[in-house]
Every structure is written in structure tokens, then in C-alpha cells.
Amino acid sequence: MQTAQRIIQSYRHKRAIFSVVVAAVALILTLAFRFISERNINQQHIVAYTSHAVQTLDKLIQPLVAGRDVITPLVGMSCDDAHQTLRKQAATLQTIRAIALIENGILYCSSIFGHRNVPVHQLQPSLPAPQPLMVLTTDQSLLKDQPILILWYPTREDGQNGVLEVVNIELLSNLMLEPQEPLITRVNLSVNGRHLVQGKGVMEHLPPHQDEKHYQQSSTQFPFAISVSGPGADQLALQHLPSQLPLALMMSFLTGFIAWFATASRMSFSWEINLGLAAHEFELFCQPVISAGNLQCTGVEILLRWYNPRQGWISPEVFIPIAEDHHLIAPLTRYVITETARQRELFPDDPQFHIGINVAPSHLRHGELLKDLHNLWYNMHPTQQLVIELTERDALLDADSRMMRELRRKGTKIAIDDFGTGNSALAWLEKLHPDILKIDKSYTTAIGTDAVNSTVIDMIIALGQRLHIELVAEGVEQPQQAFYLRQQGVQLLQGFLFARPMPINDFPAWLAENNSPPARHNSHELPLIQG
């Protein structure tokens, strides 16, 4: 069977493993939460940055669209008449580098140069065009090779007449396309397949991203898009994760600490006892009590055995003390009383046959045992004699002794179990006036071997006879012990010499086989020995 130390260590080990697992899960969840939170913040920042750049450029282009109503009527007018208005409009629209008028495909008037006579397709091969265009290119007339954004608005269906506006996009790009490292390492403005990369000018193709993440957002009003590149929200969040480790470890330790205390009851041996009661894992055994005079079985002591499917057989020496420490001895006793009453037909239907049930003195408090017996035993009107066997582990209060008198009035006999092993044996005799004394097996074993204990057992026998108390000797294992006890006048014997504890379902068969006239040897009756 399991030892108490082994079982308690097993449950502490389980609690420790559970607490460590909880702490590890808390650590992982905390880091995961911080990672997801950081990643989401990074992603939101990327989206916000890109959206802001798109909205800013939209706002810069919108006044140009609104100003077309002033410029388009000038197409076809002489440059002398239109020039002043062009210059004034260019000055009003601060992002404009130049405004030009085109007639029959010829750029004939500019807000900067005045009169001109240049085919517009020489400046921009895609112009003139019958539809509005936005072109990202480089300046070939004023500031050579500087990035510019051209807006073309035709005023005639064949596209030969129109207004051309040149935006100083390089100045704007310094304002809108500034990277924000480490999250955003590159920002691009893309217009009709051409790209303005901040610091690198206009490019036909974007350079490779080199394992960078790419995010792009297009304008809903104009044909351009802003794209950003960087290591990505996930990677940056992962890189930032070690800085979250102290907080995660603190949360992990706290969660594991809480788990350790929260499982003190649920992952303990006391909780296992509750589970065992609920699942009916406890089994009733009984050990016969034999009359020393005729070697007939006159009663049984009910014993509780526990086969725990999770731990195996657990000794009463393990679970009974733990049950007492955790105030579970009363539920165990109720279980024994209930099961004994339910299976009482297994025992002889004889008022002289007694059934002994072990009870802790703590169960007497506030009349608890008496109430349980009323509900579980007396109301079933059993024929057999009930014996309440008290141990000396706990102190006996005055109220408890009064309760024992109530039990005796109900016809219940009182026995003191393991007499002589406690600290207050004589006090118990004075308070309880018991009907039966059960001599502890340690004294029975000492018969013929230990002079001190042999003397003590003689004193106990003499005390019981003087007080007219029935005596039961426990732990009888040798024929010479039985002979000595009979010679000293002990009325009842109990031990392996007669029978080992057995499941109560086996008791009727044992009784039928063993309650027969005893064998004789050398003119002395000898008990039947169960192997």
C-alpha cells in the first residue's frame, strides 16, 4: 500500500507541476499578448502613416483641381492677355512650379517664361492626350532632372488644347515621404507605373525589398498610391519582445503562486478523499470478534479500505489521520454507517451479535453523531447490537460524555478502542463508563516476550474486571497468546489467528464455515487458524 509520505509528496508534486504549467502558460500568454499588442500598434502606425501621406497629397492637389475654372478659359487667348493671370494663379497655388497653356499641341505660354513655342510632346512624350493625366517625371527645362508631377487637363475633345500644371513634388516628398525608422525604412509615391523614391528620384522600377514587408494605399480621388516598406510589424514586435520579459516573468510568477494556493484543496489528498466518497471507492471490510469461551463469532468490527484507481490501495493508517486533520472523518464515518446499515442482512439477525463502528470523538461535537445515527441507523431498526468504538486520539469534552449517555439510552454500547495507547485512558473511563475495553495489539503482541508490556496488559485486564467492563484483546496472532488471554479472563478475542479482515460480502461464507465446534489439542480448545 501507499505510504503517507509518498502520497503527500505525490500530490505536492502534482501541484508543483500544475503550478509550473500554469506559470509557463501565463508567461507564454503574456508574451503572446504583448507581441500581438505591439504588432497591432506597429500595423496601425504603418496604416496611419500611409493614410496620412495619401490624405496630405490629396489636399495639395485638390486646390489645383478647383483652380482649373480660372485657368481653362485662358486657353486660346494670347500670352500677353493670359500671362498675368497665369502668374497670379501660380503664386496663389504655392505647390505649383509652373502653369502652361497648350494650343494645337504647342506650349505657347508659361507662367515662368511667358511666350514660348515648344511642342508639348518634346517636354513630355505622353502629351498632349484627350484625357486628364497625372505624370511623374523629371524637369527638362528649369531645374534639370528634378522630380516633378505634371497634371494635364485637356480643354478640347481631341486633346490638342489644354492646361499643364507642374508641381514641385520634390519639395512635397521631403515633407510627406520621410521614412520613420525602424518601422518604415522607405516611402514611395507611385503614379502610372513610375515611382518617386525619397532620396533616389524617379524610377521606372522599385528596387527589391530585401525581405522587407510592403504596404500600399491608393488615393480614392487621384491616380496615385503611397507605399511603405520596412521589416514588418511582426518582426519589429518580435525584436521588441525581450524587453517585455521582466513583466511576463512577474505575471508568470504571480499566476503560478496563485495556482499553488488555489489548488491547495483541489489538488490535495483531502480532495482525493472527497472524490473517493463521491465515487464509492471505499469498501467495507470486517474482522470477526471471537468469544474466548466457545470460539464462536459474536460480532465484527467494521473496517474501511480504499482502493484509489489513481493511487492503488491506500492504507487506513494513511487516509484516516489525514481525514482527521482535514475534518473529513465525520463524512467517512457517515459513509461507513450508511453502507453497514444498507448491508446489515449479511450479518446474523441476532441481538446478541454486535457490529462495531469506529468513531472519532470529534464526531460527537454538537450532537453530530447522534443525529447521523438517527438518520442512518436507528430509523432502520436493525436487530444487531451497535457498538461505537472510540479512539483516544482526541480529547473528550464534557458535552461529549453527555452525548455518550444519550447513545447508551438508545441501546448503543460504548467501547474504547486501542485502550492504553492514548494520553487520558483513566479520564476516559471516568467520563464514559464504557461497556467494552479493546486492549491494543501492542500489548497482546508482548505476551511472553516483553515483561513491561505483559505487566501492563495484566493491569488493564484487572482494571476491566474490577470495573465490570467487557474486554476485547486485539491483534491475537499466536495460539499461546489466545491461551494466556483466556486464562486471564478476557472474554473476546480478535486477530489474524482467527480471521484476517475480509470484505463484508465474504463474511456469511466465512461464518458458515467457522462457527462450528472447535478442535482440541492436549485437552485445550484451540482456535481455528485462517491462513
Single residue among 171, 196, 217 that ends a domain in this structure: 171
Residue 230 lies in a domain: no
254 shares a domain with 307 = no
Are the beta carbons of 177 and 189 closer than 8 angstroms?
Answer: yes
Separation of alpha carbons 240 and 243, rounded Å: 6
pLDDT at position 521 = 38
Domain of 332, CATH number, reads 3.20.20.450
Separation of alpha carbons 449 and 389, rounded Å: 28
Q: Residue 519: enclosing H or E segment and its boundaries?
A: strand 519-521
398 shares a domain with 369 = yes
CB atoms within 10 A of CB 247: 12
pLDDT at position 525 = 43
Strands 354-359, 385-390: pairing kind: parallel
- DSSP class of 531: -
**pLDDT, block means (10 residues), the chain with 531 residues:** 57 76 88 87 89 88 84 91 90 83 93 90 88 85 76 91 86 70 84 82 76 86 89 81 83 80 59 80 95 94 88 80 81 94 95 94 85 93 93 57 83 87 64 87 84 78 91 94 93 95 95 66 40 31
| Residue 89 phi, psi dihedral angles, 5° rounding | -70, -40
Q: Where do we find the cell 474490577?
A: 466
383 shares a domain with 249 = no
Separation of alpha carbons 457 and 444, rounded Å: 7
Q: What is the chain's Cα-based Rg?
A: 51
Residue 226 lies in a domain: no
pTM: 0.55
pLDDT at position 528 = 39
Residue 134 lies in a domain: yes
pLDDT at position 530 = 37
Residue 215 lies in a domain: no
448 shares a domain with 512 = yes
Written as one string, the DSSP assignment of 231-263 is S-HHHHHHHHGGGGHHHHHHHHHHHHHHHHHHH
413 shares a domain with 508 = yes
SS3 content of the chain, % helix, strand, coil (to 5): 45, 25, 30
Q: Output the nine-digit C-alpha cell for 32.
A: 503572446
Specify the number of domains making up the chain: 3
- DSSP class of 157: T
146 shares a domain with 18 = no
Q: Buried b / exposed e across 134-173, counting CB within 10 Å, b at 16+?
A: bbbbebebeeeebbbbbbbbbbeeebbbbbbbbbbbbebb
Q: Nearest Cα to 297, choosing from 492, 521, 490?
A: 492
151 shares a domain with 71 = yes
Residue 191 lies in a domain: no
* Omega cis (within 30) before 63: no
Separation of alpha carbons 16 and 7, rounded Å: 14
Single residue among 171, 202, 222 that ends a domain in this structure: 171
161 shares a domain with 300 = no
Residue 209 lies in a domain: no
Separation of alpha carbons 57 and 274, rounded Å: 73
273 shares a domain with 258 = no
CB atoms within 10 A of CB 449: 8
| Residue 188 phi, psi dihedral angles, 5° rounding | -125, 145
Describe the strand order of the beta sheet including 106-110 as a list of residue ranges: 114-119, 106-110, 96-103, 162-167, 147-154, 133-138
Strands 492-493, 470-473: pairing kind: parallel
255 shares a domain with 137 = no
Inter-residue long-range contacts of 452-455, CB under 8 Å, 24+ positions, other chains counted: none
Q: Nearest Cα to 390, choosing from 413, 366, 367?
A: 413
pLDDT at position 399 = 45
383 by DSSP, 3-state: which? coil
363 by DSSP, 3-state: which? helix
pLDDT at position 428 = 67
272 shares a domain with 260 = no
7 by DSSP, 3-state: which? helix
Separation of alpha carbons 208 and 188, rounded Å: 13
pLDDT at position 531 = 31
348 shares a domain with 470 = yes
Angle between helices 368-376 and 398-409 (to 10 degrees): 20
Residue 206 lies in a domain: no
Q: Nearest Cα to 290, choosing from 513, 505, 497, 504?
A: 497
Residue 43 lies in a domain: yes
Residue 505 neighbours by CB under 8 Å, 6+ apart: 343, 346
Single residue among 135, 153, 171 that ends a domain in this structure: 171
Question: Residue 365 is part of which domain span?
Answer: 268-523
Residue 28 neighbours by CB under 8 Å, 6+ apart: none
Domain of 100, CATH number, reads 3.30.450.20
Residue 314 neighbours by CB under 8 Å, 6+ apart: 1, 2, 7, 306, 307, 308
